Every structure is written in structure tokens, then in C-alpha cells.
Amino acid sequence: MQRTSQERKEKLSQRFMETCRQGIILRAGMAHTAYDRQLPSTVASNGREKICKGQVSSSDIIGLLDTSLSNKGKAGFAFTDKALYCSALENRDSTFMILYEDIDFIEYDDSDDDDITIHIYSKYNSRPYQINHPWFSKKKIMSFLEAAKELYEESNEDTLDWDKL
């Protein structure tokens, strides 16, 4: 079944909201979700400008993990209908963007209790992006990213026309 971009956005928004409700905040920060209207327009606008560097519209943002002191979406992780954006100085890779469909695989490294890290490997880059921000559950972030990756893989498989290959 081929999903429209609106159906994909709705499914990702719902999944992000569910992930947040399962306890994504560990220490500080704030989680904003578009699905249950907990993403104020000023926060979405700030996230678009500051975290996503103006590359998306405010309506593309489905959720934000806010690391700004003001909790107004000026720093942190922005999850859109197509990609994860990071602009958080406390994170090892302080600024990056990766499309969900470009994720090859994700690893969770908890060998050192003081340095729990997610490694996100791209299909097109040998160096992984890393998430090790201490305020949020890396296992919850990883769970969402895996679901987003699978949703895009499912959509891409549905659009292949094997007879034309």
C-alpha cells in the first residue's frame, strides 16, 4: 500500500507523540509534539529557523526535543515528516540533518554508563551521526528513528515497479 506524504506525516506524528508519552525526557528540556497540539506556533517557528536553519516550513515539524533554556525551540532536535535535524551544543555532533530514508542502520552503544550514544549510519556517509545528549532517552529516540526508517522503506518498496527494472 503506497502511503501519501500526508498519511506518512500523520503516522510519524502519532508515533512521535506516543514515544514522548512513554517518557523521553530524563533530566531537563521539553518535548513538543504536533499530534496532540503541544507544539506552539512560536516554538515551531523557532525550531524551523534555529534548528532546521530555515530548510523546512513550521508545518513540517512533527515534534521537538527542546534543549533551549527558554523552552522556546531555539536549540535541540527537530523531527520533521522527512528528517531529523540537530542543533544542540551539548550533543557530540552539535549540528546535523539526516533524512529518514537515508538511514542505513542505527546502533545503541551503552558500554560506558557515562557515555550512552546512538550511532546513526547513513547509506551515503561512512561516519555515523551521534546522539548522546544527556537530557533525553536515547532508547526512545532510537525507537522513533527506527520506526521512521521502516515507514520510508515500506513506502519506497511500494513505489518500485519491478517490471521496469
Q: What is the mean pLDDT of residues 4-12?
A: 90
Q: What is the mean pLDDT of residues 8-33?
A: 92
pTM value? 0.88
Which domains, and CATH codes, for the chain?
A: 5-158 (2.30.29)
- Sign (positive or negative) of CA dihedral 153, 156, 161, 165: negative
Confidence of residue 98 (pLDDT cuts 50, 70, 90): very high
Q: Round the average pLDDT of the chain to a whole number and report it.
A: 88
Q: Nearest-CA neighbor of 79 among 124, 27, 33, 121? A: 33
